[in-house]
A and B are shown apart, each in its own frame.
Chain A
Amino acid sequence: MRIFELCLLLGLIICALAVSFTKRLLTSIIIYMSYSSIMAVIWVILQSPDLAVTEAAVGAGVTSLLFFVTLKKIRAIKEENRDEQTEE
């Protein structure tokens, strides 16, 4: 259990560093999602499951979705229109 905990904390630190060091915004959002998921597991270990549920739903779910939509709106993600092109 101790080793598992240490692994999680290490993963947390690696994710936190990787978010700031990645060049692509999309990748950094996905790393941020994994950060939130790891954090949710840590909350369970720290015996606060209600926080874990909130972290998983808000941190990994809704917040990153909002980031995705924002990136799309500012045209930071290149849209793939291959499907529509083939239809036309």
Chain B
Amino acid sequence: MSRLKNNYENSRFHRFEAWMAGDTDILKGKLEIRRPEEPEEQEIELDETKINAAVYDMVHNRELRAFRILYRLASVILCLTLIAVLLWTVVYLPKFGEPDNPINNEVSARYIEKGVEETGATNFVTGMILDYRAFDTFGESCVLFIAATCVQVLLRLDDSGSREKQKKKRAEENDRIYEPKNDLILQKVSCVLVPLLFIFGIYIILNGHLSPGGGFSGGAVIGSGLILYLNAFGFKKTERFFTDRTFRRITLAALTFYCLAKSYSFFTGANHLESGIPLGTPGAILSSGLILPLNICVGLVVACTMYAFYTLFRKGGM
């Protein structure tokens, strides 16, 4: 048996196979290979305080001193020139609130005169950003979503490594364990504040076309309410209703609905088709066609993004 094995090990096929697998070097013993001479290891003492003292020796290091003075001078000069240039530009701006300023052109006149009639929104700031310029707002919502995704890419926890290691890592990242738990003052205050914040945010979103406000501000208010709730009661309670999956589903659904609804209304508007979306009477809450659902979409995206930012910064996941 052993003889057979020896035969096989010497055979050309085995050597080829071993070479293919990268086990042996086919040139071994045939080339003259000299080991590179190992450089003598010099022990360098790294005394950081000494190095720092030598580098930042302001008394003897003349170059450094000159550089410092030059740096400060340059920064001051740069700042002053920037201020001067900006102030100089301000002089040439038209006076604030004059009737014949270039901003008071036919565009804003049209928004003010026909805005209520065309969009049905009594708050024509919302009418402008969610009807005339709805695609701008769509881009902004997408930017928020992309920002949340980028933060997730950058701050996500690495899943590799053994389970023990991962557990330790998670414990380190989840810094709540180092904090005083169940802070009574925070909990009592948030018991009062969180419902009020939620109601206020929902009110702002739903009344976006009637009173000042809209999706973005309402969403930000709801997001800060969520963050307050998280700080008071911890991740365990928020994870019951808000996880990574909820974030993805809500954001994706809201953005898709926004895109489809606005594309439809732009398509029908551009081709003089009946859109079939009733505008309703201005001033009623169910009015102004698509603006209310679009406001809700923007609010959902913004609230989710705010909360996602915070949780990603806190523990690298939702």
B224 and A57 form a contact (CB under 8 A): yes
B313 and A69 form a contact (CB under 8 A): yes
**B310 lies within 8 A of chain A by Cβ:** yes
A65 and B212 form a contact (CB under 8 A): no
Interface size class of B (residues with CB under 8 A): 20 to 34
Complexed CA–CA distance, A62 and B313 (Å): 12
Q: Which residues of A contact B313 (CB under 8 A)?
A: 66, 69-70, 73
Are A53 and B217 CB-contacts (below 8 A) given A61-B224, A79-B178, A83-B180?
yes
Q: Which residues of A contact B178 (CB under 8 A)?
A: 79, 81, 84
A54 and B220 form a contact (CB under 8 A): yes
Partner among A53, A58, A69, A83 whose Cβ is within 8 Å of the Cβ of B314 = A69
A53 and B309 form a contact (CB under 8 A): no
A62 and B175 form a contact (CB under 8 A): no
Interface size class of A (residues with CB under 8 A): 10 to 19
Complexed CA–CA distance, A81 and B177 (Å): 11
Which A residues from 56 to 88 make CB contacts under 8 A with B?
A: 57-58, 61-62, 65-66, 69-70, 72-73, 79, 81, 83-84
A66 and B310 form a contact (CB under 8 A): yes
Complexed CA–CA distance, A58 and B175 (Å): 24
Are A65 and B180 CB-contacts (below 8 A) given A49-B212, A53-B217, A54-B217?
no
Which residue of chain A has its CB nearest to the CB of B208?
A50
Sample 10 A-B pairs with CB under 8 A, ordered by A number: A53-B212, A53-B217, A54-B216, A57-B221, A61-B224, A65-B227, A66-B313, A69-B314, A73-B313, A83-B180
Instruction: Give 7 nearest A-B pairs by CB, closest first.
Output: A57-B220, A49-B212, A53-B217, A50-B212, A54-B217, A61-B224, A69-B313
